[in-house]
C-alpha cells in the first residue's frame, strides 16, 4: 500500500520543532516509520524537511523565508509579533502541500492520503477532487475553535479517525467514523520504574504540561496542599514542569500560580526537553496529576507516565477516563459544582495512590498504548477505506 501522510502545520520542520510544543509531530513521524517497517510505502508531506527514514516531500518555503529575512525575524518571532501575517504565509504553504499530495494520489503514486493535523480545513473542500480515499485526523477537541466548529459539519460524510471516543462528541451524530485509534509511544522509550528511587526526603506528585488555566495547574497545587494538611509529617511535594506564559496577554502564571509557589512543598522545575529528563521526572513520581477542566481529546503525558509505571490521577474531562483505568492504573476524580469539592476529590485520590500497582500501569501501557499497536490499527483503517 502506498500511503501519503500530510502534516501541513508550519511547525513541522526540523528548524522549528526543537523550540515548540507540537505533539502531533513525533506521532506522525513514528506512525510513518512504523507503517513503512510493516511493509507499506510511505510518503510524509511536511512544510520543511524533518528527520525521518521515509520519503519526505516538502513545500517551497523560499518566499516565507524571504519575508523573514526582510524583517530580520524568525518563524516564532514573526508569530509572536505579527500573528496574522504569519498565519497568512503559513496557510499558503499548507495549501500547496495539500495540493501536491492530492496531485500525486491522482497520478497513481498514492493509494490513500491521510491529513494528519489541524489544518485539514484547507483540505476538506478539495478532498472531492482527489480520486483516492482521503481520511482525516484532528488533534484538538472538534469544537475548540470557531473556524473548525463551523466547517466540520459540512464534511461529516468524509472518513475521520478519532483519537478517542470522547473527541467525537464535538462532531455531528452522522459523522463517518472510520476508526478510533489511541496514540502510542514506542515501547522502549521509557523504562518502567517499579520502585521509585526518590533520593529526596519528600516524595512527589508530578504535573507535566502547559501551565494554563484549562489544564488546571492551580487545582493540582491546591489538591496537594489539601492532602498535606491532613497528612502532617508525611507531606508530598508537587513538582510542576512545563511551559508557562508570563506575557501581558496571559496573567495566569503571574497572578495565580506564582503566588502559590511560596509553599515549600510546591516547586517549579522548568521546561523538560529530553526523553531522559522526562523519564526521571515521571518515573520517580508517586503519581502524575492531570486536572484538566476542558475536554481533553487524549493526553499524551498520561500514557508516558504509564510507560514509566507511574499511576495517573485525572478529572473526568474528555478522554481522561478512557486512558485511566479507575482503581487499576490510577483514579478518575469527578468534577464538582464547586471548585473546592473538585480539589478535595483530587486530594482523596492522591491518598489512595499506594493501592495502585506500578506493574499494572506498565502492563496496561504495553497492552493499549504502544506505537506498534497504533500503527497496526491505522493500517487496518487504511485497508478498510482502500
Over residues 261-287, the pLDDT tens digits come to: 999 999 999 989 899 999 999 999 999
Q: Is residue 99 part of a domain?
A: yes
Q: How many helices (H) and strands (E) does the chain have?
A: 13, 13
Spatial distance between the Cα atoms of 317 and 302, rounded to a whole number of angstroms: 13
Q: Is residue 193 part of a domain?
A: no
Q: Is the pLDDT of residue 145 over 70?
A: yes
Same domain, yes or no: 235 and 152: no
Nearest in space to 252 (alpha carbons), one of 307, 213, 304: 213
Same domain, yes or no: 347 and 376: no
Position 140 scores a pLDDT of 87
Q: Is residue 315 part of a domain?
A: yes
Q: Is the pLDDT of residue 209 over 80?
A: yes
Q: Is residue 113 part of a domain?
A: yes
Position 248 scores a pLDDT of 55
Q: Is residue 189 part of a domain?
A: no
Spatial distance between the Cα atoms of 39 and 300, rounded to a whole number of angstroms: 27
Q: Is residue 198 part of a domain?
A: no
Spatial distance between the Cα atoms of 89 and 71, rounded to a whole number of angstroms: 14
Q: In this predicted model, what pLDDT tens digit does every residue of 88-134 receive, in sequence order?
A: 898 899 999 999 999 999 999 999 999 998 666 889 999 999 999 99
> Range of 308's domain?
204-368
Highest mean pLDDT among 8-12, 202-206, 272-276, 310-314: 310-314
Q: Is residue 190 part of a domain?
A: no
Same domain, yes or no: 167 and 266: no
Q: How confident is the model at residue 45 (pLDDT cuts 50, 70, 90)?
A: very high
Same domain, yes or no: 161 and 108: yes
Same domain, yes or no: 213 and 180: no
Same domain, yes or no: 78 and 122: yes
Position 117 scores a pLDDT of 81
CATH classification at residue 341 = 3.40.50.2000
Position 198 scores a pLDDT of 64
Q: How many other CB atoms sit within 10 Å of the CB of residue 86?
A: 21
Position 283 scores a pLDDT of 96
Same domain, yes or no: 286 and 351: yes
Could you list the beta-strand ranges (E) of 224-378: 237-241, 266-270, 287-290, 312-315, 330-333
Same domain, yes or no: 44 and 60: yes
Same domain, yes or no: 380 and 340: no
Counting the structural domains of the chain, the total is 2
Q: Is residue 194 part of a domain?
A: no
Same domain, yes or no: 113 and 177: yes
Q: Is the pLDDT of residue 199 over 60?
A: no
Amino acid at each position: 500500500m502506498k500511503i501519503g501522510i500530510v502534516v501541513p502545520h508550519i511547525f513541522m520542520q526540523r528548524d522549528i520543532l526543537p523550540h515548540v510544543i507540537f505533539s502531533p509531530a513525533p506521532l506522525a513521524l513514528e506512525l510513518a516509520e512504523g507503517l513503512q517497517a510493516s511493509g507499506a510505502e510511505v510518503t510524509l508531506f511536511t512544510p520543511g524537511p524533518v528527520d525521518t527514514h521515509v520519503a519526505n516531500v516538502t513545500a517551497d518555503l523560499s518566499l516565507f523565508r524571504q519575508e523573514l529575512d526582510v524583517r530580520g525575524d524568525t518563524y516564532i518571532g514573526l508569530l509572536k509579533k505579527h500573528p496574522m501575517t504569519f498565519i497568512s504565509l503559513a496557510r499558503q504553504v499548507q495549501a500547496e502541500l495539500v495540493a501536491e499530495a492530492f496531485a500525486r494520489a491522482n497520478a497513481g503514486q498514492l493509494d490513500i492520503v491521510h491529513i494528519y493535523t489541524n489544518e485539514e480545513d484547507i483540505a476538506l473542500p478539495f478532498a472531492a477532487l482527489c480520486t483516492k480515499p482521503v481520511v482525516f485526523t484532528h488533534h484538538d477537541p472538534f469544537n475548540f475553535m470557531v473556524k473548525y466548529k463551523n466547517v466540520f459539519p459540512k464534511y461529516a460524510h468524509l472518513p475521520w479517525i478519532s483519537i478517542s471516543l470522547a473527541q467525537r462528541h464535538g462532531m455531528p451524530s452522522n459523522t463517518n467514523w472510520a476508526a478510533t485509534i489511541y496514540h502510542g509511544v514506542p515501547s522502549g522509550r521509557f523504562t518502567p520504574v517499579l520502585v521509585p528511587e526518590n533520593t529526596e526526603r519528600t516524595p512527589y506528585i508530578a504535573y507535566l504540561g502547559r501551565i494554563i488555566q484549562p489544564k488546571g495547574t492551580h487545582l493540582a497545587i491546591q489538591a496537594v496542599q489539601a492532602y498535606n494538611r491532613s497528612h502532617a509529617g508525611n507531606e508530598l511535594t508537587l513538582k510542576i514542569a512545563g511551559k508557562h506564559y508570563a506575557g501581558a496577554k496571559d496573567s495566569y502564571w503571574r497572578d495565580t500560580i506564582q503566588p502559590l509557589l511560596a509553599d515549600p512543598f510546591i516547586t517549579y522545575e522548568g521546561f523538560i526537553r529530553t526523553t531522559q529528563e522526562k523519564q526521571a521526572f515521571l518515573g520517580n513520581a508517586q503519581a502524575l496529576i492531570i486536572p484538566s477542566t476542558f475536554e481533553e481529546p487524549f493526553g499524551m503525558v498520561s500514557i508516558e507516565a504509564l510507560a514509566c509505571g507511574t499511576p495517573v490521577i485525572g478529572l473526568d474531562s474528555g478522554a481522561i477516563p478512557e486512558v485511566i483505568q479507575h482503581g487499576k492504573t490510577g483514579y478518575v476524580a469527578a468534577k464538582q459544582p464547586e471548585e473546592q469539592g473538585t480539589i478535595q476529590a483530587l486530594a482523596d485520590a492522591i491518598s489512595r495512590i499506594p493501592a495502585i500497582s506500578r506493574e499494572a500501569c506498565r502492563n496496561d501501557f504495553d497492552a493499549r498504548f504502544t506505537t506498534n499497536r497504533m500503527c497496526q490499527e491505522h493500517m487496518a483503517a487504511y485497508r478498510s477505506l482502500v
